[in-house]
Amino acid sequence: MENKNNRDNSRVPVAVLCCFLVAFIIQGVLKLCGVFVFEKTLSWGIFEIIDNTKWLYITYYSLIVFLTIYCLSFMLTSEPFSRKWYHYVIMLIVSFGITTLKTFIVLDYKIHVLLDIMIYIIVPLVINFTTATKYKLLANNIFDAIITISLQIGMYFCYLGLGYWSGVLNSLLPMSLLYIPASANFLIRLEMYIGLVSIMLSMNMLVKKLKRR
């Protein structure tokens, strides 16, 4: 009975992944066909309120950054969550701190690149290195650390690739919709975040299988 329950529970992540994959494919196909599911929502007044209210703007974009950091941080682990509370504190502080900094200070492009490296590579590495060995792909010796760093950089490039793919699809938007509130970009680039979650769940299941072997 216990083995049967474990087998049933193992199917849940696969089912969730299938849902994200189907959503990712449908979103891409619809855009390629010129059908934009969230076209009508772009005129929602809520986006104008978010863009014109500093604390709402910071909160909104901080949560988007948090989602990205979260996915990148748990791509090389067997579970899509952490058992250590301070991991979530680190992600929240970095997300809100960097978003606030970018909101109130005009930064050079090079600084933006360095901040992205810190957010999307260094922070996930810190979380990975402080995760228990039984939950992550590799141990903490020097050789495994080098491989982990390389893989984490690769995950970051996957994220950039998803952003490029989303940009290609978004270039199909009608000219009249090019001038949209900045906060509406989440809906416009939804396939990028769906793809990011899909990669995280796929890597979680892959790591779990490798750990069992």
**Can you give 33-82 as a three-state secondary structure string?**
CCCCCCCHHHHCHHHHHHHHCHHHHHHHHHHHHHHHHHHHHCCCECCCCC
What is the enclosing helix (H) or strand (E) of 131?
Answer: none
What is the enclosing helix (H) or strand (E) of 14?
Answer: helix 2-32
Q: Please give the pLDDT value at position 41.
A: 67
67-101 burial: b if 16+ Cβ within 10 Å, else e? bbbbbbbbbbbbebebeeeebeebbeebbbebbbe
Which residues form the domain of 176? 2-212
Q: Please give the pLDDT value at position 201.
A: 93
Tens of pLDDT along the chain (213 residues) come to 545 555 556 677 788 899 999 999 998 888 888 777 776 666 677 888 888 899 999 999 999 999 999 999 999 999 999 999 999 999 999 999 999 999 999 888 899 999 999 999 999 999 999 999 899 988 778 999 999 999 999 999 999 999 998 888 877 665 444 556 777 888 888 889 999 999 999 999 999 888 887
Phi, psi torsion values for 39, nearest 5 degrees:
-60, -45
**Which of 77, 75, 69 has its CA nearest to residue 97?**
69
Number of domains in the chain: 1
